[in-house]
Amino acid sequence: MKPTTIIEARKKQQALKLVRKVLLICGILSSLLYVGTDILAAMQWEGYSYTSQAVSELSAIGAPTRPFVVSLFSIYNVLVIAFGLGVLWGTKIGKRPLRVAGILLIGYGIVGQVTLLFFPMHLRGAEKSITDTMHATLTGVLVLFILLFIWFAAAALRKRFRLYSVGTILILFLFGILAGLNGSRLEAQLPTPWLGVMERVKIYSSMLWVLVLAIVLLQAESDQDDFGKRKQEKIS
């Protein structure tokens, strides 16, 4: 192989590595953006209860925070899709379960954006419609996506991360059930004390998991780059 060809190949390889890292960093940014948007939106809406109202109410039809939340959550969904591409294509680990997790992350981002734009819930006290039914159904689909991509990613990585993933799934189940118990009260327009807390524990734990996964994969990329450099130094 000619020296110029080798140089060009190395430049291309370095560019691909950079793209991979950027895609994986999107996982960190997505979680930070979601949590930040939730907190800021709750602060903007006077009368909104962070402890007793759901996150979805911030983007509900007629909510004063809907434009703000839709714009930033749309960016969040784009970041999640980019991260999913990074998990699918960007990692060198190459295990099939991790690739499946990447596909599920992409699906989660797409369904999340469709739900956000086309199937928001109505505010409490407003007349319900098909969008509320679809919102509840697609939210269930999103939860299924979360459980599946955590499961598949955990199967591809080391024992410590698997244990952490199992713990996250248990938290999702526990607080998902607790939050779900308030579903009938929400439908009946009754107070839902601690619904916001229970839902946010569930959501934030999944956001933290995504952030940790991104860090783990970035570290794996860095370790393999260091190994490659040491191997190249020995050869030269």
pLDDT in the model for residue 141: 97
pLDDT in the model for residue 3: 60
pLDDT in the model for residue 26: 98
- CA triple 71-73-78, angle to 5 deg: 100
CA pair distance 44, 216, nearest whole angstrom: 35
The kind and range of the H/E element at 4 are helix 3-44
pLDDT in the model for residue 232: 46
pLDDT in the model for residue 227: 43
CA pair distance 52, 35, nearest whole angstrom: 17
58 within 8 A of 121, measured Cβ to Cβ:
no
- What residue ranges of the chain have pLDDT lower than 50? 227-228, 230, 232-233, 235-236
Per-residue pLDDT reduced to its tens digit, 178-188: 888 887 777 77
Total count of residues recorded for the chain: 236
pLDDT in the model for residue 235: 43
pTM above the 0.85 mark?
Answer: yes
pLDDT in the model for residue 185: 78
The DSSP 8-state label assigned to residue 45 in this structure reads S
